């Protein structure tokens, strides 16, 4: 049943954000609300990780009168029945089954959520005649590519995980819909996003938690890993650049920090900010993983005015401060 959503002259845009209770969706919704946009947030609140964390994020968003939340799964076709009378300016699809390694254990979740769910959003945009869809892709689509930094012009037909394959599938389907039905699609390939309110299954969270609890941290490829760690505020700036981007066709962009960091340096920065030493369990490279990621952001700078500024020396202390406050460790 459709809730009554207020109309006000103050509102700049009405934006539908899927995965609004997720890490990136929460930060994006919060930023959009601060800029006087109306946000319709949807999320299925699944139990892939701590639902309480998702609910705490929603509590923050619901403090704003221009945020409207619906518990909906984008896999369900009935999604198309919602918001029939509501004018929506832009859809940002951030809902997905995340996690590269988990895709090896539960492949159906990735097909259903990432591909079928994205198809439903494309149909929703088509039927409501919405002019723009922005969606989350991933640096994982670069798979086994050897050339660095990764460029959007590179071939991406060597995925090494089902997660990567599902994200590449979304890009192909979006290309098709954009050409056939004439609405703008923008795919954003995120590179290792971290920051406050982050996901418990991601490295920054796991490392911080285990070091505090004096437990071992798993360090894959014997520590010989490099990642383009990208702070959440920079990612949000890139997404908001996509909202105002005037490109008409389906376009894909990298959102990364344009700086590939050694994993061991990343761990050292966490150790220094915690004042504790990590107990490391050095392990081989895992199936579905890659030794290095590095984003070429030339076109993102040009078209989205994307300008990542946050070094790990700045971003990690902010994450640790949030972690300690959230879990009452101070």
Rounded to the nearest 5°, which phi and psi values hold at 251?
-130, 145
Alpha helices in 85-231 (DSSP H): 107-110, 117-128, 162-181, 203-212
> d(Cα 296, Cα 273) in Å, to the nearest integer?
29
Cβ atoms of 118 and 135 within 8 Å: the answer is: yes
For residue 285, give the nearest of 205, 202, 225 by alpha carbon. Answer: 225
> What's 256's DSSP letter?
S
Looking up tokens 């702070």, which residue turns up?
Answer: 231
Active site residue 163: yes
Cβ atoms of 204 and 198 within 8 Å: the answer is: yes
Query: What is the helix (H) or strand (E) element at residue 227, kind and residue range?
Result: strand 226-227
- Residues 6 or more apart whose Cβ sits within 8 Å of residue 220: 283, 284, 285, 286, 289
Rounded to the nearest 5°, which phi and psi values hold at 68?
-130, 120
Cβ atoms of 158 and 145 within 8 Å: the answer is: yes
Residue 56: how many CB atoms within 10 A of its CB? 14
Residue 166: how many CB atoms within 10 A of its CB? 28
> d(Cα 7, Cα 228) in Å, to the nearest integer?
41
Residue-level length of the chain: 330
Give strand pairing partners of 231: 194
Residue 174: how many CB atoms within 10 A of its CB? 26
Active-site pick, 48, 135, 142, 163: 163
Tell me the three state secondary structure of residue 294: coil
Catalytic residue annotation: 163
């Amino acid at each position: 049943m459709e809730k009554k959503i207020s109309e006000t002259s103050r509102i700049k845009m009405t934006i539908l954000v899927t995965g609004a209770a997720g890490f990136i969706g929460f930060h994006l919704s919060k930023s959009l609300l601060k800029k006087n946009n109306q946000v319709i947030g949807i999320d299925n609140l699944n139990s892939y990780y701590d639902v309480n964390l998702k609910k705490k994020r929603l509590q923050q968003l619901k403090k704003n009168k221009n945020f409207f939340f619906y518990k909906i799964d984008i896999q369900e076709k009935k999604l198309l029945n919602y918001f029939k009378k509501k004018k929506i300016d832009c859809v940002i699809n951030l809902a997905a089954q995340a996690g590269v390694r988990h895709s090896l254990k539960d492949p159906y979740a990735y097909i259903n959520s990432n591909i079928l769910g994205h198809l439903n959003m494309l149909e929703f945009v088509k039927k409501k005649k919405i002019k723009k869809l922005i969606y989350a892709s991933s640096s994982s689509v670069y798979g086994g590519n050897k050339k660095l930094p990764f460029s959007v012009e590179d071939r991406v037909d060597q995925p090494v995980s089902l997660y990567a394959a599902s994200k590449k599938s979304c890009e192909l389907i979006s290309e098709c819909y954009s050409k056939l039905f004439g609405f703008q699609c923008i795919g954003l390939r995120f590179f290792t996003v971290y920051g406050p309110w982050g996901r418990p299954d991601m490295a920054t969270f796991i490392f911080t938690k285990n070091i505090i609890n004096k437990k071992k941290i798993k360090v894959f490829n014997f520590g010989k890993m490099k990642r383009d760690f990208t702070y959440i505020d920079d990612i949000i700036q890139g997404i908001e650049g996509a909202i105002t981007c005037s490109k008409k066709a389906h376009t894909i962009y990298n959102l990364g920090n344009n700086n590939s960091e050694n994993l061991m340096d990343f761990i050292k920065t966490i150790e220094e900010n915690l004042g504790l030493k990590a107990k490391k369990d050095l392990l081989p490279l895992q199936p579905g993983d890659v030794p290095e990621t590095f984003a070429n952001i030339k076109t993102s700078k040009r078209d989205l005015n994307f300008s990542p500024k946050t070094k790990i020396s700045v971003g990690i202390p902010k994450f640790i401060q949030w972690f300690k406050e959230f879990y009452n460790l101070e």
